[in-house]
Amino acid sequence: MGFADLSIADIAAEYRLAVSDVMQICTRLDITYRDEGTNLALEDAKAVMLEILGRAQDPAEGDCARARPC
């Protein structure tokens, strides 16, 4: 499995989320990480981003709807 050049902090910044929110998603998806600087495997990064985008499209998620990339 290849690695994306995206860390947890990079994903948080891209989607304007708190780093802790992205870490919670990683934990929920059973993605292993050490800290916010951890570069994610390509499939893991895709899974996290899909989760964020799915939450952004669901109006029932409230504040998560702001998690759209600019």
Confidence (pLDDT) at 17? 97
| Exposed/middle/buried for residue 34 (C-beta within 10 Å: 0-12, 13-18, 19+) | exposed
Domain residue limits at 50: 3-59
What proportion of the chain, given as a percentage, has pLDDT over 90?
70
Would you say residue 67 lies in a domain? no
Would you say residue 45 lies in a domain? yes
pTM above 0.85, yes or no: no
Would you say residue 65 lies in a domain? no
Write the pLDDT tens digit of every residue in 2-36: 777 899 999 999 999 999 999 999 999 999 999 99
- Domain count across the chain: 1
Confidence of residue 65 (pLDDT cuts 50, 70, 90): very low
Would you say residue 66 lies in a domain? no
Structural contact between residues 7 and 34, judged by C-beta atoms closer than 8 angstroms: no
Would you say residue 30 lies in a domain? yes
